[in-house]
Structure 1
Amino acid sequence: MVDEDGSAAAYPASWEADVVLGDGGTAHLRPIRPSDADALARFHDAQSEESVYARFFAPYPHLSQRDLHRFTHVDHRDRVALVAVIGEDIVGVVRYDKINASQAEVAFNIADSHQGRGLGSVLLEHIAAAARDRGITRFFAETLPTNTRMIKVFEDAGYRVARDYDDGVVAVDFDLTPTENSLAVMRSREHRAEAQSILRLLFPRHVAVVGASRAYRTVGRTVLANLEAAGFSGELSVVNPGALEVAGRPAYPTVLDVPGEVDLAIVAVPAEAVGAVVLDCAQKGVRGLVVLSVGFGEDGAEEGRRRQRDLVRLARSHGMRVVGPSSFGVVNTDPAVRLNASLAPVAPATGRIGMFSQAGALGLAILDAAAARGLGLSTFVSAGNRADVSVNDLLQYWQDDVSTSSVLLYLESIGNPRKFTRLARRLAALKPVVALRSGRASQGVPVGHSVRESRVPREAVDALFRQAGVIRVESISQLFDVGQLVATQPLPEGDRVAVVGNSDALGLLTADALESWRMQLAGAPCSVRPEATAEEFAAAVEQVYARDDVDSVVAVFMPPLVTPGQDVAAVVASAAQRYGKTTVSTFLGIRGVPEQLRGEPDGALPPRGSVPSYPTPEEAVRALVAASRYAAWRRKPRGTVAELDVDAAGARELVEARLAAADGDGRVRLAHDDAARLLACYGVRVEPTVFVSTVGEAVAAARRLGYPVVLKTAVPALRSRPDLSDVRLDLADSSALVRAWSELRTSLGEGAVRDAILQRMAPVGVPVVVQALEDPLFGPTVSFGVGGVASELLGDRTYRFPPLTSTDVADMVRGVKALPLLTGHRGSTPVDLAAVEDLVARVAALKDDLPEVGELVLDPVLASGGGTSVLRAVVWLERPDAREDVGPRRLA
């Protein structure tokens, strides 16, 4: 804000951002500073005459000192300018000058050498956000008709643009309020840019290994050997200032001395030397870094964290993305590149699984596990400390990667859950995503990972995965159990499963496992005698696969004594291929895909159509259940976010007013009437409540409310205790009310009636609880459960993360274990589930719109056949940290 004396507002550091450009490179955006005068002059002098004329409508070869002062000295309110910086150079400028209370004139200038990289669009996003922060709602701009790039930036942004042509100038005017279209445009650009940034890392033409030494079994030398052994198709160089050659290759003192362009640098030098390497790479024009070095955030020391921050800041400000530090490396098995820039001595076989791992130390074990099962990978990325490149970047890349048909994730933390949910949901609609997240018991964050603390229970994290369609598993073994199934078999078309094999005992174990997971058993298990011939097996298998009521098949076999095992396997593999039904097997105690169960070669290992085998029927069934549930999620309609008639402006005004009046830490509990007003803005009615402290007040209040009424204590320590009767229901007249008052005072004490509540009697129903929370990590979170001590103790709550579609809301309400209480248990009247879902949707919309609502609790809500009655609402307000994944594009 500008002070009364006219001085400038404080430098808005929150406007600084690292951004990914359209070609995958990066830049740093920040408000302009007075110290930028020289850089701005160089920027202007380097522009072509055409670019200068398009910006100033006149020849303007040099900026005067007066102009430089005016352009670099802004008040960050009425006059705002942002610059895009790569290295020490300004490559783009955008500014606005306020015209009136709500409108400002905006202008761009992009360096000639950086046009076409998407700088204009990302600068517009950030200047628009800055303008909204300062109360500006509309932008106006004038440009020449020949400046088609500028006009296209405005028109392609997704805003509703009005154009006017007068006196040889095109005038553009548009509202800055984000629209569904503008948000979609921004997300689409983000997707393309982040996917391109990963593509640059995985398809380098020239790799430099920095730190490869002549000593064997060192990190750099190992990576160099692995790159050579994999047959990397591009150029390969070694950087080592202390050697003339390494492994028969010339060694260069620095990256700057390497001939030609370098796309990717593999950094394996001591942590304290990494900064200098990054600067050399920046000067060389390297596009990306894979940092294998340790000694950064993973050691927990402040010095290591500082090095990690400096590494990312330096790299991004010079246009580079970083994998690591403490990374195990990256792998791309595409025959066009054959990149094994990792510590794995043998590159994975070519396949169609993309894999992401945060744990550098587990990289080799993970790749060994994949190889042991015969699983081929398309790409593998070990993010190490995840200082820059994260799982979200890989989700963007794999969405369009034709070489990847399924994705496996090993996660130790989720830095931006809102973005992860959005991207994973979009990817899972196309390709299976299987994830293992460690640290679930403690919700702990690995050392070196920068993640906000979370207050949500682990059940909420599970719900996040379900909402996004991610298949969650419990161990590395399960990760590959499910991964090999979704990578090789078609998805089940339903839950009907047939069992076929040569052992009654194994068949019964399989049937029990299926029933325990609530799968539908398609008839009794079909068994042949243990010594049956391959022809008898074939007849039984054909009988099972030919049935129309079978979606999936579990084939279970004991090692036969007389019939060759490979003949039986061939029978199963052939039937699975011909009928196209999802098939898993327990075969000869083998985990993975036995040779005899592999399908026809299709360029992937194992080939699509191979039949995975598991040592036990239970493991086979568990993998099949995971695939079936994922397939059901794919088939289910996504639903839409309800368009509710709400007064968002009125709610915002109320919240801001109460927060402004708060003191101390800013956390304030709304009074009952204010809570009711806030909820009414979103169409939620809270039953009128009167607080009384004498029997006379109670009788007078009951007369106003109308009988019958309910009397209950408001003392927190006495409420909702199963051993105390703190509520008196259905009081029909004043005599009944006076008696109830006396009973409460006698049983609970004088304090119970000095702080009492009176409400009109609501329709009898099932108590339910709806809660909303602003979590520092996950953002808005909504939960639902049936009321009562049993549900509370058993943790019978469902969770979702707004915005919620109609399908999300239905899954929440119908996903509690106590659902029968809502649907007519033991002959009771079913409640109006549509009304319950409407209430949850409205609470979710409120929470999504108002981050300042730190906590909201509706308890109890009585759900009946006639709708819902909210009897009590508690709302806490506080100023939250900025939500992740909100606002213009930026890297974390």
Structure 2
Amino acid sequence: MPAASQVVGPGAQGGAVEPEAWPKPPIEWEADVVLRDGTVCHVRPIEPADADRLRQFHNRQSDESIYFRFFAPLRELSDRDVHRFTHVDYHDRVALVAILNGEIIGVGRFDRIDAASAEVAFNISDHMQGKGIGSVLLEHLAAIAPDVGITRFRAEVLPQNRKMLMVFKDAGYEVSSHIEDGVVGLSFDILPTEQSKAVQLSREHRAESRSMRTILFPEKVAIIGASRRAESTGALVLRNLIGAGFEGELYPIHREAAEIQGLQAYPTIADAPGPVDLAVVVVPAVDSVEVVEECGRAGVKALLVLSSGFAEADEEGARLQERLRTSARSAGMRVVGPNSFGLINNQRGVRLNATLASVIPAEGRLGLFAQSGALGIAVLASAARRGLGISIFASAGNRIDVSGNDLMQYWIDDQDTTTVGLYLESMGNPRKFSRIARHLASVKPVIVVSSGVSQYAVPPGHRTRTPNVPPQAFDALLRQAGVIRVENVHQLFDVAQLTLHQPLPTGERIAIVGNSDALGSLSASAAESWGLRVTHGPVSLLPQASAEEFAEALDAAFNNPKVDSVVVAFIPPLVTPDEQVSLAVRNVVAKYDKPCVATFLGMRGVDGGLRYTTSEGEDRSVPSYAMPEDGIRALRSVTSYAQWRARDRGLPVAPVGIDRARATELLDSWLAASPEGRPLTREEVAELLNTYGIRPWPAIEVSSVDEAVAAAEVLSYPVILKSTSPVVRHQPGLAGVRADLGDGDALRDAHASLTERLRPLGADRFVVQRMAVPGVSCVLKATEDPLFGPVISFSVAGPPTDLLGDIAHRIPPLTDVDVTDLINGVRAAPLLSGHRGAAPVHRAALADLIARLSVLKDDLAELASIELNPVNAWTGGVDVLGAEVVISPALVRKDTGRRSLT
């Protein structure tokens, strides 16, 4: 886009303008973003103070880049141009800059052409081209533009500027183009499409996965804080790196020593042969910021900070932690920690043990993530006791940067990791976790231990928000994502040893074979309690049975077409040696592609003579559990996961007849008049909901019996008269309601009766509404949670909601399958299907209403809460009989639709 075609903003004529005259840049537009090569840059709105940075950026550009941008050899920017480019109003004229090491490395901007379209242009630093900066800036501008009413971008590009043409072509939009006067004109709608969202998520995945490869596969590792004192942490870490056989280069950093543990030492990171891929920082917290700044200047790519004494310690530590994060991000470095237990990569060609553990599990296919150091020790020790090998282990510590989300991005494509285990003490971005976990779980099992997301579960030092929604919302998020949630580390490994060594079940039918009636009964009871169906057995052999008899019984179980999985439960036999029984079990299991779990009393893990090789040459083992209940619980978890993986995920809900622009306009006007927020009036609620195709039934407030009769004449009989007071509104027995009033006399009698009854309570304020067809009364809610963002809830009204807490939750965006699961997720769901001869409700209409509510809430963070109550679901459709909406200034959501590390 040539400079001359840009819209000139206020003050562009060169007159002196006081800084206060310019609006402050929206802080919510700022983001740290991982680029294509794994480095991090900071994206933010341009500011008047960027004038010198912009000049320097322009002066570094080649003649070709300048010509591509301005269509002219504009070697220097005039004061007028600099002023115009750096002074924007963040509404009609928006500009973003990408910053690395304090320098501008890219500029993207749009200038409004008319009410709904804008011209967009980019300028990327020559030495940073090819890293995806243009795509990042386009993505962020496209996410910002709809908030100011712009839905279409236009651009002018020279035909020889192939890189910029590819930025637009590969963005996932439907781009139309034409050539006029030797310039390519492009035009495209920027509202998100499934293709554009898929492109964005794919780029995010590749970039974040690449950044983790830099951390997990370093060729040069520096240990800053390496010490000659054998008992020091720095000496321990270096010793563990050497002892694991790290196959790259190690650089101990020590200001005085020339050699440490037989390796040449260097006085500073700048003196080490660079560039260093990973710097392991083991220095006191007070020295950490200076060390990080030195690493940034030396071109270090990533940091592993084992040092403690940060936000987990005190307020001063919290300030140091924030300075460390800011310093690392400004230099484009990823950070694991601080207060991390370390990293392990057991894979051949790496052999990285940058942890405080001298003895680690062997190489294997289990990827593990934990947050605290103490849990890191427990997780590694448990894996070793079970004989489970690991591929990657990472401890995030205080999680100022690298989190479980980043590791999951890497594990999606990691062929050496086939099962993932996560121990989560807190969660900073649940929405991002959900979509990444869903992607990962679609290709390999993800097992999560979590202490929850309540304010009591967050460890000191973790940066997160306190949720307002109940824990059931977190459970729903995990179910939507397809992860296997367990209660503790022991259950994590119970499940992991099954997923690592056995095929996935194809159904819920099991066989039970053993040599003890007691164990057989115990196993069958456990299976029934966990929702598995025993279709073969329990078969109980005699204690003196031979190995051949064991094998014959197992063959019969595996050959039964009505069996999906086999449970083996043995006490030590009286005659046949244990080794022969183990041999018989593994030889039979090896012949079939059905999962098997075993209980050999006193044995736990995947060792003990139960290993075998399949006909395809794959090494497996029959997982053994101390008691049958442990194995059956693990089998239930894996069976549920297999069912989730095999089922249709559904399509994103996309209701028709939505006017988002009008809804945004309404909210803007109401919040302009009430900046702190407020409940909407009944008329405002109807106007807002109508923009998304949700039409509450009219209800007329009345202050006298004559007004009630007049209202009924407008609405037509039969009508309902109900109190608006919350004191009686949700009381059982319809304490504040008179229904099915067929004429004026009935209405007058009802009004007199209710007034006499409710006046002492101050609850004699009424509305008149048309009487609905009998149906099932439901409650739909949508809330904006500080941690989760939008949350949708569904329940059947009355005692199931008020007394039993029978409420289902889901986190938007929803698919049609999610909506169905939400409806079926309450225990009272049979009431919707014609319970005891009643007519079933119109489920399609109910699903459409939920879909509209979820899209409305997902689109508009300013909606603090929406409650549709009651919603009358019946055979012919759904009627929204009551609706309440509270608006408030929008919280800055996590995972806002543009790439960001936070």
- Pairwise TM-score range, normalised by the shorter structure: over 0.9
Whether 1:27 aligns to 2:11 is no
Equivalent-residue separation in structure 2 for 1:673 and 1:683 (angstroms): 15
Deviates more, 1:70-79 or 1:572-581: 70-79
* Counterparts in 2 of 1:80 and 1:837: CA distance versus 1, 3 Å: closer
Q: Which residue of 2 aligns with 1:618?
A: 629
Whether 1:229 aligns to 2:233 is no
- Amino acid aligned to 1:362: L
Equivalent-residue separation in structure 2 for 1:142 and 1:413 (angstroms): 46
Q: Which residue of 2 aligns with 1:725?
A: 735
Whether 1:383 aligns to 2:396 is yes
Equivalent-residue separation in structure 2 for 1:254 and 1:77 (angstroms): 47
Structure 2 contact 505–565 (Cα < 8 Å) conserved? yes
Q: Secondary structure at the match of 1:361?
A: helix
Q: Which residue of 2 aligns with 1:304?
A: 317
Structure 1 contact 415–451 (Cα < 8 Å) conserved? yes
Q: Secondary structure at the match of 2:423?
A: strand
Q: Secondary structure at the match of 1:794?
A: coil
Whether 1:871 aligns to 2:884 is no
Q: Which residue of 2 aligns with 1:92?
A: 106
Structure 1 contact 713–752 (Cα < 8 Å) conserved? no
Whether 1:209 aligns to 2:205 is no
Structure 1 contact 556–587 (Cα < 8 Å) conserved? yes
Q: Which residue of 1 aligns with 2:613?
A: 600
Whether 1:797 aligns to 2:813 is no
Question: Normalization by structure 1: what TM-score?
Answer: 0.95
Equivalent-residue separation in structure 2 for 1:456 and 1:529 (angstroms): 54
Equivalent-residue separation in structure 1 for 2:769 and 2:428 (angstroms): 45
Equivalent-residue separation in structure 2 for 1:47 and 1:868 (angstroms): 62
Structure 1 contact 537–571 (Cα < 8 Å) conserved? yes
Structure 1 contact 278–314 (Cα < 8 Å) conserved? yes
* Counterparts in 2 of 1:314 and 1:689: CA distance versus 1, 3 Å: same
Q: Which residue of 2 aligns with 1:331?
A: 344
**Contiguous gaps of at least 5 residues in structure 2:** 1-8
Whether 1:499 aligns to 2:529 is no
* 1:565 shift after superposition: 1.2
- Amino acid aligned to 2:391: S
- Amino acid aligned to 1:658: W
Equivalent-residue separation in structure 2 for 1:76 and 1:536 (angstroms): 79
Q: Which residue of 1 aligns with 2:836?
A: 826
Q: Which residue of 1 aligns with 2:469?
A: 456
**Residue among 290, 295, 300 paired with 2:304:** 290
**Residue among 504, 521, 539 paired with 1:508:** 521
**Residue among 499, 502, 523 paired with 1:486:** 499
* 1:341 shift after superposition: 1.0
Q: Which residue of 1 aligns with 2:432?
A: 419
Equivalent-residue separation in structure 2 for 1:603 and 1:196 (angstroms): 32
Q: Which residue of 1 aligns with 2:414?
A: 401
Q: Which residue of 1 aligns with 2:686?
A: 676
Whether 1:848 aligns to 2:861 is no
Q: Which residue of 2 aligns with 1:152?
A: 166
- Amino acid aligned to 2:188: F
Whether 1:539 aligns to 2:552 is yes
Equivalent-residue separation in structure 2 for 1:834 and 1:31 (angstroms): 44
Structure 2 contact 832–840 (Cα < 8 Å) conserved? yes
Whether 1:644 aligns to 2:644 is no
Equivalent-residue separation in structure 2 for 1:66 and 1:815 (angstroms): 62
Whether 1:265 aligns to 2:279 is yes
* Counterparts in 2 of 1:753 and 1:795: CA distance versus 1, 3 Å: closer
Structure 2 contact 423–448 (Cα < 8 Å) conserved? yes
Equivalent-residue separation in structure 2 for 1:74 and 1:677 (angstroms): 34
Structure 1 contact 405–432 (Cα < 8 Å) conserved? yes
Deviates more, 1:741-750 or 1:521-530: 741-750
Structure 1 contact 487–608 (Cα < 8 Å) conserved? no
Deviates more, 1:499-508 or 1:742-751: 742-751
* 1:497 shift after superposition: 0.8
* 1:647 shift after superposition: 2.8
Equivalent-residue separation in structure 2 for 1:372 and 1:68 (angstroms): 65
- Amino acid aligned to 1:381: A
* Counterparts in 2 of 1:234 and 1:97: CA distance versus 1, 3 Å: same
Whether 1:185 aligns to 2:199 is yes
**Residue among 552, 560, 577 paired with 2:573:** 560
* Counterparts in 2 of 1:25 and 1:788: CA distance versus 1, 3 Å: same
Q: Secondary structure at the match of 2:609?
A: helix
* 1:462 shift after superposition: 0.6
- Amino acid aligned to 1:247: Q
Deviates more, 1:353-362 or 1:744-753: 744-753
* Counterparts in 2 of 1:8 and 1:137: CA distance versus 1, 3 Å: farther
* 1:308 shift after superposition: 1.4
Equivalent-residue separation in structure 1 for 2:845 and 2:110 (angstroms): 48
- Amino acid aligned to 2:643: A
Equivalent-residue separation in structure 1 for 2:248 and 2:599 (angstroms): 43
Q: Which residue of 2 aligns with 1:477?
A: 490
Equivalent-residue separation in structure 1 for 2:112 and 2:410 (angstroms): 40
Deviations 1:609-647 (A, max 9, x none): 311111111111111100011111112111112331233
Equivalent-residue separation in structure 2 for 1:75 and 1:709 (angstroms): 53
* 1:344 shift after superposition: 1.6
Q: Which residue of 1 aligns with 2:6?
A: none
Q: Which residue of 2 aligns with 1:656?
A: 668
- Amino acid aligned to 2:201: R
Structure 1 contact 745–752 (Cα < 8 Å) conserved? no
* Counterparts in 2 of 1:417 and 1:144: CA distance versus 1, 3 Å: same
Structure 1 contact 8–76 (Cα < 8 Å) conserved? no
* Counterparts in 2 of 1:765 and 1:144: CA distance versus 1, 3 Å: closer
Q: Which residue of 2 aligns with 1:857?
A: 867
- Amino acid aligned to 2:662: G
Q: Which residue of 2 aligns with 1:835?
A: 845
Deviations 1:534-577 (A, max 9, x none): 11111111111110000011100111232111211222222222
Whether 1:247 aligns to 2:261 is yes
- Amino acid aligned to 1:174: F
Whether 1:715 aligns to 2:725 is yes
**Contiguous gaps of at least 5 residues in structure 1:** none
Structure 1 contact 43–91 (Cα < 8 Å) conserved? yes
Structure 1 contact 769–859 (Cα < 8 Å) conserved? yes
Question: Normalization by structure 2: what TM-score?
Answer: 0.94
Deviations 1:838-886 (A, max 9, x none): 2222221221222222111122222223332222111111122122111
- Amino acid aligned to 2:515: N
Q: Secondary structure at the match of 1:514?
A: helix
- Amino acid aligned to 2:161: N
* 1:71 shift after superposition: 4.5
Whether 1:762 aligns to 2:790 is no
Deviations 1:206-236 (A, max 9, x none): 1111111111232211111111111111111
* Counterparts in 2 of 1:639 and 1:97: CA distance versus 1, 3 Å: closer
Equivalent-residue separation in structure 2 for 1:136 and 1:691 (angstroms): 39
- Amino acid aligned to 1:624: L
CA RMSD for the aligned pairs?
2.5
Structure 1 contact 692–754 (Cα < 8 Å) conserved? no
Q: Which residue of 2 aligns with 1:705?
A: 715
* 1:118 shift after superposition: 1.0
Q: Secondary structure at the match of 2:458?
A: coil
Corresponding pairs, count: 887
Equivalent-residue separation in structure 1 for 2:115 and 2:866 (angstroms): 35
Deviations 1:637-689 (A, max 9, x none): 111123312332333333333323325x22x2122232233333333332332
* Counterparts in 2 of 1:564 and 1:175: CA distance versus 1, 3 Å: same
- Amino acid aligned to 1:26: V
* 1:319 shift after superposition: 1.7
Q: Which residue of 1 aligns with 2:442?
A: 429
- Amino acid aligned to 1:489: Q
Structure 2 contact 39–333 (Cα < 8 Å) conserved? yes
- Amino acid aligned to 2:182: G
* 1:453 shift after superposition: 1.9
Structure 1 contact 602–608 (Cα < 8 Å) conserved? no
Deviations 1:552-604 (A, max 9, x none): 11100111232111211222222222111111111132111233112229999
Equivalent-residue separation in structure 2 for 1:140 and 1:467 (angstroms): 38
